[in-house]
Amino acid sequence: MKDVVHDLELLFRSRHGVVHLDTAEEERARGLLHHVAHELGVPFFTWTRSRGLVRAGQPGGVYGTEDPRQALEHVAQASIDALYHFQGVSRAGLDDDLVMALVRDCARALENRRGALVVTGADLSLPEGLRGVVTRSALPGPTEQELRTLLGQVVRDVSERRHVELDMDREEIARLLRHLSGLTLLEAEKTLTRAVVEDGVLNADDLGLVADAKRSLVEQGGVLEYTPVEASLAGVADLEGFKSWLSHRTAVVRHPDRARAAGLPFPRGVLLLGVPGCGKSLAAKAVAAEWHLPLLRLDPSGLYNKYIGESEKNFRRAMDTAERMAPVILWIDEIEKAFATGGSEDGGVSQRVLGTFLSWMQERRGDVFVVATANDVQRLPPEFLRKGRFDEVFFVDLPDAATRAEILRIHLVDRDADPDAFPLAELAAACEGFSGSELEQAIVSVQYAAFAEGGEIHPDRLSEELRRTRPLSVTMAEPISALRRWAEGRTVSAN
Ligand SMILES: Nc1ncnc2c1ncn2[C@@H]1O[C@H](COP(=O)(O)OP(=O)(O)OP(=O)(O)O)[C@@H](O)[C@H]1O
Ligand SMILES: [Mg+2]
């Protein structure tokens, strides 16, 4: 909170007459601004549509200022040192020539004074005509310290009414606070209160409630999907190169502040290229489990809109949400489909969204780790492979015999079959060229047959099923070997 106040104070002392404070929390903004006004030693006014301009600590409002034009005129003419907060401002309200002219007058009047005119409003975007006049500043989400204070407050408040037990150690509390990041203070308060009131105990189980609150927040935009994570790296056979890369960064991810102090930035992301069905999507999910971070999947179908500029805006909004959720994993599956190149039929929309994505990759704020996957390098824009976008580009190849045996074992165990009853090495040896997905499919179809007959999965049946399968690596031998040749030298092996 100290930092925010300090930053705002600096902003208002310097030559910024009108500031758009971008936040979903107008009440929190008001509290902060009131505090800043106090620090600056200037009066604090709020303006709302229903009450007009009201000076803090005084009963009545300034006569006739419910009309925003009158209010702005008053501010422009008053020429005193003061901080004005205009709440609930809408785009429609600003899209008016006279209003814009008055805002410019206010900017001039306040530019060399202590104080400013600050506007906030839900989802407010500024009209073109005000771009150069109004400074945009974002109100950062609540800090860990603010959340910690909030947690104490909620527990105290609820325990006045009923017995409350706080059953968490320091590590768990830290995790809870981390999970709350991305929510506004108000949302965090609601979530915590619900978690405490429900059973009178706050413990590690309540992390699930926090996840629910975040899910509904994330999915509002229709582009990101909050994906529950069941996969873990233990359920992924091989991919040792990739796993070891991850494990070298786990400490940085778990202790980002300490890492930053040591000059180690949060990892940016990886691109997983490779043969279909060999575990790219599975690995993306496992990263989230391994690092204990929420997983947001980008759904490209929610991105595109027939109105000009909307697609880019949807994308921007989604990235804002991702940043707000940080630390978080952003998963873009089949990225070549999300940002296809060469398609002129969509009027260049996907090209523009791609541009937006690439610049976001460069300038993103907050700890967002991107995991992108792709099968078809031909359709992948070359920009993706340029150094600096991703930390590493991995190539995921077909599993070798030992890995195939391991994949069979993982999926038999998953289906409650006893893997020791199966000649895994022998089966695996006979499955040259099979992908993980094809091995899993064979087990699934034998399981169906077994279920129909009321028995268990039989080794002979599995062996027969595998023999009948014609793997993709045979039917698509040409493109797969082309992909391998391409990957050589350009990528690092994930296997
Ligand atoms: N290395 C592996 N270990 C365990 N299971 C695997 C492995 N590779 C693939 N599988 C199994 O195959 C299924 C399909 O894999 P996944 O969807 O991750 O492949 P993919 O590389 O993303 O394929 P696509 O390119 O078709 O999207 C997984 O759900 C998993 O059950
Ligand atoms: Mg996939």
The whole-number pLDDT of residue 3 equals: 66
- CA dist 444 and 461 (Å) reads 11
Q: Which CATH number fits domain 401-475: 3.40.50.1820, 1.10.10.10, 1.10.8.60, 1.20.140.10?
A: 1.10.8.60
| Ligand 1 pocket mutation pick from 437, 472, 480, 493 by most atoms within 8 angstroms of CB | 437
- pLDDT, mean of residues 25-49: 92
Q: Which residues line ligand 1 (CB under 6 A)?
A: 236-239, 276-282, 373, 375, 407, 410, 436-437, 440
Between the CA of 250 and the centroid of ligand 2 the distance, in Å, is: 24
CB-based contact 281:333 (threshold 8 Å): yes
The whole-number pLDDT of residue 183 equals: 81
CB-based contact 335:375 (threshold 8 Å): no
- pLDDT, mean of residues 246-272: 91
Q: Is the pLDDT of residue 2 over 70?
A: no
Task: Say which range, 99-108, 248-257, 465-474, has the weakest mean pLDDT.
Answer: 248-257
Q: Is the pLDDT of residue 341 over 60?
A: no
Task: List the residue whose alpha carbon is closest to atom 30 of ligand 1.
Answer: 437
Between the CA of 273 and the centroid of ligand 1 the distance, in Å, is: 13
The third-level CATH classification (topology) of the domain covering 2-138 is: Rossmann fold (3.40.50)
- 383-415 burial code (b ≥16 CB/10 A, e <16): ebeeeebbbbbbbbbbbeeebbbbbbbbbbeee
Q: Is the pLDDT of residue 390 over 70?
A: yes
Between the CA of 283 and the centroid of ligand 1 the distance, in Å, is: 8
DSSP state of 20: E
Residue 276 CA: nearest ligand 1 atom is 25
- Range 79-82 contact pairs with CB under 8 angstroms and sequence separation of 24 or more: 79/109, 79/113, 80/43, 80/113, 81/40, 81/42, 81/113, 81/114, 81/115, 82/37, 82/42, 82/43, 82/44, 82/45, 82/113, 82/115
pLDDT band at 340 (very low <50, low <70, confident <90, very high): low
- CA dist 315 and 338 (Å) reads 11
* Mean pLDDT for the chain overall: 88
Q: Is the pLDDT of residue 360 over 50?
A: yes
Domain boundaries, the chain: 2-138, 144-219, 233-396, 401-475
pLDDT band at 204 (very low <50, low <70, confident <90, very high): confident
Class of domain 233-396: alpha beta
The whole-number pLDDT of residue 366 equals: 78
Q: Is the pLDDT of residue 56 over 90?
A: yes
Q: Is the pLDDT of residue 274 over 70?
A: yes
CB-based contact 119:89 (threshold 8 Å): yes
DSSP state of 204: G
The whole-number pLDDT of residue 490 equals: 86
| Ligand 1 pocket mutation pick from 282, 400, 438 by most atoms within 8 angstroms of CB | 282
Q: Is the pLDDT of residue 59 over 90?
A: no
Between the CA of 358 and the centroid of ligand 1 the distance, in Å, is: 27
pLDDT band at 1 (very low <50, low <70, confident <90, very high): very low
Q: Would you call 118 exposed, middle or buried from its count of C-beta atoms within 10 A (0-12, 13-18, 19+)?
A: buried
User: What are the helix (H) ranges across 86-142?
Assistant: 91-94, 97-110
The residue that leads in pLDDT, 79 or 357, is 357
Number of the ligand closest to the Cα of 272: 1
Structurally, at CATH architecture level, domain 144-219 sits in: Orthogonal Bundle (1.10)
Task: List the residue whose alpha carbon is closest to atom 17 of ligand 1.
Answer: 281
* Nearest by Cα to 493 from 238, 234, 242: 242
The whole-number pLDDT of residue 344 equals: 52
Between the CA of 440 and the centroid of ligand 1 the distance, in Å, is: 9
Q: Is the pLDDT of residue 342 over 60?
A: no
The whole-number pLDDT of residue 470 equals: 93
Between the CA of 279 and the centroid of ligand 1 the distance, in Å, is: 3
Residue 236 CA: nearest ligand 1 atom is 3
- pLDDT, mean of residues 261-275: 93
| Assigned token pair, 441 | 């499919």
User: What are the helix (H) ranges across 293-387?
Assistant: 310-325, 335-338, 349-363
Residue 235 CA: nearest ligand 1 atom is 4
pLDDT band at 25 (very low <50, low <70, confident <90, very high): confident
CA dihedral 391, 226, 378, 492 (to 10 degrees): 30
Looking at the DSSP assignment, which residues form a beta bridge with residue 246?
none
pLDDT band at 364 (very low <50, low <70, confident <90, very high): confident
Between the CA of 341 and the centroid of ligand 1 the distance, in Å, is: 26
Task: List the residue whose alpha carbon is closest to atom 8 of ligand 1.
Answer: 279
pLDDT band at 369 (very low <50, low <70, confident <90, very high): very high
pLDDT band at 38 (very low <50, low <70, confident <90, very high): very high
Q: Is the pLDDT of residue 242 over 90?
A: yes
DSSP state of 141: P
Task: Say which range, 287-296, 383-392, 434-443, has the weakest mean pLDDT.
Answer: 383-392
Q: Which of 201-205, 359-363, 440-444, 470-474 is the most confident on average?
A: 440-444
* Topology agreement, domain 233-396 and domain 401-475: no
The whole-number pLDDT of residue 299 equals: 85
Task: Say which range, 296-300, 329-333, 377-381, has the weakest mean pLDDT.
Answer: 377-381
Task: List the residue whose alpha carbon is closest to atom 25 of ligand 1.
Answer: 276
Q: Is the pLDDT of residue 212 over 90?
A: no
Between the CA of 145 and the centroid of ligand 2 the distance, in Å, is: 39
Number of the ligand closest to the Cα of 285: 1
CA dihedral 79, 84, 87, 89 (to 10 degrees): 40
The whole-number pLDDT of residue 208 equals: 81
The whole-number pLDDT of residue 345 equals: 56
